[in-house]
Amino acid sequence: METFQKPLTQEEEAEYIRLLRDGSPEEAEQAQKTLVERNLRLVVHIVKKYQSADEDIEDFISIGCIGLIKAIRTFDEKKGRLATYACRCIENELLMFLRGKKKSSREVSLFEPIGQDKEGNEIHLVDVIEQNQPDIVENMELTGNIKRLFTLIDANLTERERQIIIMRYGLYGNREVTQNEIGEKLGISRSYVSRIEKKALSKLREKFEQG
């Protein structure tokens, strides 16, 4: 693997984003090229989480670069650093690729014969596979969303909101408790617990949808 160029500083990144938005066509093209090159390390880092041993890493890097380019073209610098936003775009592109690949593979292979039963009848993979097997790609995405949700809880809720959400939904290994139980423990009414819970969930939903 080639040696990657060092990441841009925040000031350099802001300047290339400005050129991409407001520069001449030549400046914008060069700015995008530089932003891609200087963030290629990020693509490879994320690709390594999704690539399996029997798949070509170059294909995954190409897909990841598509996500990176989409991130560069749609990035809003008012919302932080490009790398943070690009990570989500790159992962989304890889997940879509894996879903499509999995669907294609399943269409080809599920009905291929894999053996015979005692009567000599052909057995197909679709005959023996569990229909409720966990979806690995969806589980990967779910795991990422759960981690992000915990981060949002810590970053956006007040101490009381966080306390109520943790107790109410049994987070961090705790037991789920009712609003009445929470009210008794905190010395407040059940209706007040309900209002705080709804407000906290509304905050989390808003932040989550913002990306």
Measured distance between the N- and C-terminal CA atoms of the chain, rounded to whole angstroms: 31
CA dist 9 and 11 (Å) reads: 5
pLDDT digits (tens, 9 = 90+) for 30-59: 999 999 999 988 898 888 887 665 567 788
1-109 belongs to which CATH class? mainly alpha
Rounded Cα distance between 139 and 148, Å, is 14
Residue whose C-alpha is closest to residue 32's, from 44, 45, 17: 17
Map out the domains of the chain as residue ranges.
1-109, 134-211
- Its pTM stands at 0.48
Confidence band of 211 (pLDDT split at 50, 70, 90): low
pLDDT tens for 142-189 read 667 778 888 888 888 999 999 999 898 888 777 888 999 999 999 999
CATH of domain 134-211: 1.10.10.10
127-159: b or e for each residue (b if 16 or more CB lie within 10 Å)? eeeeeeeeeebeebbeeeeeeeeeebbeeebee
83 contacts: CB under 8 Å, gap ≥ 6: 7, 39, 42
Structure tokens at 164: 């109520």
- Nearest CA among 68, 97, 78 for reference residue 18: 78
- Between CA 40 and CA 32 the distance in angstroms is 12
The values of phi and psi at residue 123, to 5°, are: -110, 130
Cα 128 to Cα 68, 99, 139, distances in angstroms: 40, 22, 22
pLDDT on residue 133: 43
Going 75 to 81 to 82 to 88, the CA torsion angle's sign is negative
pLDDT score recorded for residue 140: 55
List, as one string, the DSSP characters of 194-211.
HHHHHHHHHHHHHHHHH-
Per-residue pLDDT reduced to its tens digit, 87-118: 888 988 888 887 776 655 544 444 555 556 55
Kindly provide the residue ranges of all beta strands, DSSP E only, lying in 34-93, ordered along the sequence: none
The secondary structure of residue 63, as a DSSP letter, is H
Give the position of tokens 């008794």.
Answer: 184
Token pair belonging to 196: 């705080």
Res. 1 pLDDT band, cuts 50 70 90: very low
